Amino acid sequence: MTTGTAAKTDDWKAKSASQTRLAFGQALLELARRNPDVVALSADTQDLIGIREYIELYPDRFVEVGIAEQDAMGIAAGLATVGLLPYVCGYAPFITARSMEQVRNDVAYAEQKVVIGAAASGISLGVSGGTHHAIEDLAMMRSLPGMTVIVPADVDEAYKATLATLDVDGPVYVRLGGRALEPDVTDPAAPFRLGRATELRAGGDVAIIACGCMVALAVRASDTLKGEGIAARVLNMHTIKPLDRDAILRAAAETRGIVTAEEHHLTGGLGGAVAEVLALEHPARMRMVGMPDEFAVVGPTVPLRAKYGMSAEAIAAACRDLLGAG
């Protein structure tokens, strides 16, 4: 599935301010312009997602539910049953864990076309503590039959991926960042292809498969390793489900091993998904970079990521370890 490149004549990117959560909100404006059936639902996220302009332009296609994520999901499912196209704007830790029953039964089980924009994922709200961290959401969402799971790496990808959801026949989970800046790392001119990883660095020694905020760190690690004579391929696995099995199998066949990188628990996320493919189809050496089996402490986002081994340095170290070059 492909969508065209982002429009060059508007200012959506400036308003996104290098944050995928705001790019999702900007894409909602374009979706509402294209299709009169688009409806936005907010679980107290008018500023988090940046949708006040949407509310001004389309007040009759907006519902503010407040901090009642279970209700938001139930309402969205109901709107979908009458042919509307609901986009739910929520905090990732709450729109998943708190409303999991509604996501499972009302949305996924009922095969409703509902798009969930989940901002502040991972530990991007580091200073708010464990209650506001979403480090198990990918495991939950990818386990649901029929659920599409997207993790954009930067604002260009978030904008294009959100536009692409209009053509997905079924529920979609879009994992978005928080208030930490997300640097540009993808090609803004490239179309978004659902379920197709993009290669950002070539390499035949080791393959780094990353998603979300870890993609930029994976590129940085690859550049560091290049200076050491190690050619590290970088794959941006922006779609966790459906997973690009072909890209994974090629990486396993053409390199000496795979390192996955994600801002998520090492159980059930991107690393687990890649490991499932390899175990069944092409066993390969593997290392995983991500959140260990614990809850994160309170702290600023970037230092907190580094504390738990989610950094460019940790990715490079995992590659060296896999290759026996550490």
Domain ranges of the chain: 2-175, 195-323
Please tell me if the domain spanning 2-175 has the same topology as the one spanning 195-323.
Answer: yes
| Res 162: pLDDT | 98
The reported pTM is 0.95
Go through the chain and tell me how many residues it has: 326
CATH architecture of 2-175: 3-Layer(aba) Sandwich (3.40)
| Res 2: pLDDT | 42
CB 180 within 8 A of CB 217: no
Please report, in tens digits, the pLDDT of each residue of the chain (326 residues total).
444 444 444 699 999 999 999 999 999 999 999 999 999 999 999 999 999 999 999 999 999 999 999 999 999 999 999 999 999 999 999 999 999 999 999 999 999 999 999 999 999 988 888 889 999 999 999 999 999 999 999 999 999 999 999 999 999 999 999 999 999 999 999 999 999 999 999 999 999 999 999 999 999 999 999 999 999 999 999 999 999 999 999 999 999 999 999 999 999 999 999 999 999 999 999 999 999 999 999 999 999 999 999 999 999 999 999 999 65
Mention every residue, 6+ apart, whose C-beta is less than 8 A from residue 324.
Answer: none
Q: Could you list the beta-strand ranges (E) of the chain.
A: 2-3, 38-42, 62-64, 85-91, 115-119, 148-150, 172-175, 192-193, 198-201, 206-210, 232-236, 239-241, 258-265, 286-291
Q: Report the candidate in 94, 79, 81, 87 with the shortest Cα–Cα distance to residue 54.
A: 87
Q: Report the candidate in 151, 77, 63 with the shortest Cα–Cα distance to residue 108.
A: 77
CB 196 within 8 A of CB 239: yes
| Res 326: pLDDT | 55
What's 195-323's CATH class? alpha beta
CB 235 within 8 A of CB 199: yes
| Res 143: pLDDT | 97
**Three-class SS state of 53:** helix
Using DSSP, how many helices (H) and how many strands (E) does the chain show?
A: 13, 14
